[in-house]
Amino acid sequence: MGLISPLASLLGLEVEGLASKAKAAALVWGLIALSCAIAIGFLIAAGFMALADIVGPIIAALILAGTFLVLALAVYLGSLIGRSHRQRELAERRRAKETSTFLTTAALTALPLLTKSPMLLRIGLPAAAIAAIALLRDNDKEDEA
């Protein structure tokens, strides 16, 4: 907090005002979330009562329990799929960066050998520059996608 106050005053903000606004917003959103949770509870209770009138209370409880277990399983499987997708993207991104680093290192290592030949210097340097630009463009397009 010692660093935030001078920084905030430098930007023209009042830390006390921001803190009180944040507390008020947290209180309001907390009450909204609590009200929504209570409303969902009553909706579930009403659904149970309506289902109990149709099939009986024990069967209605079993149906609702099974429904919520299936819903929990679906959420869990969705999170596993999302996590594996994120890990795969991270591995692909890491592999592309490692390849780029390897190619850069190889090019820098070979550069002193290539500069000894005047013919290769005339032809190879522009070709290497074009290849490097093409590789960088491909890596930028992959990062954006």
Asked if residue 87 lies in contact with residue 80, where contact means CB atoms within 8 angstroms, the answer is no
Q: What is the pLDDT of residue 78?
A: 93
Q: What is the pLDDT of residue 30?
A: 94
The residues spanned by each domain of the chain are 1-55
Q: What is the pLDDT of residue 33?
A: 95
Instruction: Tell me which residue has tokens 């660093």.
Output: 3
Q: What is the pLDDT of residue 40?
A: 94
pTM of the model: 0.50
Contacts of residue 54, Cβ cutoff 8 Å, sequence gap at least 6? 60
Q: What is the pLDDT of residue 7?
A: 61
As averages over each run of 10 residues, the pLDDT of the chain (145 residues) reads: 60 67 90 96 94 93 93 94 91 86 78 71 75 74 55
Q: What gap in Å lies between CA 93 and CA 140, rounded to an integer?
A: 11
